[in-house]
Chains A and B, each alone.
Chain A
Amino acid sequence: AQTVTQSQPEMSVQEAETVTLSCTYDTSESDYYLFWYKQPPSRQMILVIRQEAYKQQNATENRFSVNFQKAAKSFSLKISDSQLGDAAMYFCAYRRTNTGNQFYFGTGTSLTVIP
Chain B
Amino acid sequence: EAGVAQSPRYKIIEKRQSVAFWCNPISGHATLYWYQQILGQGPKLLIQFQNNGVVDDSQLPKDRFSAERLKGVDSTLKIQPAKLEDSAVYLCASSSLAGPANKNYGYTFGSGTRLTVV
Contacts from A to B (Cβ < 8 Å): 4, 33, 35, 42-45, 47, 50, 52, 91, 93, 97-98, 100-103, 105-108
Contact = CB atoms under 8 A, between A and B. Distances in A.
B69 interface: no
B42 A91 contact: yes
**7 smallest A-B Cβ distances: which pairs?**
A105-B42, A45-B109, A43-B112, A102-B45, A44-B111, A43-B111, A47-B106
Contacts of B48: 100-102
Given A45-B91, A47-B106, A100-B98, A105 B111 contact: no
18 contacts: A43-B89, A43-B91, A43-B111, A43-B112, A44-B109, A44-B111, A47-B107, A52-B103, A98-B99, A100-B48, A100-B56, A101-B48, A101-B99, A101-B102, A102-B56, A103-B107, A105-B44, A108-B40
B103 A107 contact: no
Contact of B55 (A4, A91, A98, A100): A100
B100 A106 contact: no
Nearest to A9: B40
Contacts, number: 58
A103 B35 CA distance: 9
Contacts of B93: 45
Central interface residue in B31, B43, B91, by most chain A CB within 10 Å: B43
Contact of B31 (A35, A52, A101): A101
B23 to A, nearest CB: 14
